[in-house]
Amino acid sequence: MSDNWDSEIIEALMSLDEDSLMKKVESALSRGISPLEILRKAITKGMQIVGEKYETGEFFLMHLMVIGESVKNVMDKLLLPALQKEGVKESNSEGTIVIGTVEGDIHDIGKNIVASMLLTAGFKVIDLGKDVNCDVFIQKALEYNADIIGVSALLSTTMIGQRKLIEELKKRNIRDKFKILIGGAPTSPAWAEEIGADGYAKDAVEAVKIAKQLLKKR
């Protein structure tokens, strides 16, 4: 692998060849490149390009599905274990976060990265998965006495689920029990403010930073 390890990974990702993607990522890791750098410079960037190609009609749903599956496998088999090996703290004492992707939305690659980074940073993480109903978020947050509820949305049509959760917490008079941290590509600081969330993060590194800040405000 040359110095262009990032463009080589992106190329493998675009070619729909999972074996080649695995090998390129494995090779970058064995050269000492950090899993976080691989995520930022190659995987996330590659996924952005995939999204753009889908928008312009160059890629179809089939591409999103095959590439999404390959990235999920690379994450599960190589990058998440490497991330955890790099930094898992002895005790998960930073705080407890219940995290999931909103109802109607099955995108979970980004949410999984956030969950993993929080775990690595010392949080206790309860990952509810994807397509999570508002009641389940609340039920689990109460059950685990969570400090933070992390809510991911990747579709402009499902972002509304983040607002619904906050409204529901207010209705039940338990809004102040939890800090709400939102994220996902179509969301923004302005959206967080509009719906009354406590924090927004654009990526997993920022998510850890904001989660720590939110705990200090409790």
Site track 109-128 with ligand B12 (rule: CB under 6 A), x = hit:
xxx-xx--------------
| Strands of 96-101's sheet in order across | 124-127, 96-101, 148-152, 179-183, 199-200
Size of the site for ligand B12 (CB under 6 A): 40
Q: Which candidate, 67, 66, 141, 70, places its Cα nearest to that of 100? A: 141
> Residue 100 forms beta bridges with which residues?
151
Instruction: Using the minimum distance from each CB to ligand B12, give the nearer residue, 90 or 190.
Output: 190
Instruction: Using the minimum distance from each CB to ligand B12, give the nearer residue, 3 or 180.
Output: 180
Q: How far is the CB of 218 from ligand B12 (least distance, A)?
A: 17
Q: Which residue in 186, 194, 209, 218 binds ligand B12 (CB under 6 A)? A: 186
Q: Which two tokens stand for residue 123?
A: 């949080």
Contact residues for 198 (Cβ-Cβ < 8 A; gap 6+): 179, 180, 181, 192, 214, 217
Name residue 65's amino acid: M
Q: Is 145 in the site for ligand B12 (CB under 6 A)?
A: no
Name residue 56's amino acid: T
Instruction: Using the minimum distance from each CB to ligand B12, give the nearer residue, 27 or 44.
Output: 44
Interacting residues with ligand B12 (CB under 6 A) = 44, 47-48, 50-51, 54-55, 61, 64-65, 68, 72, 99, 104-111, 113-114, 150-152, 154-157, 181-186, 201, 203-204, 207
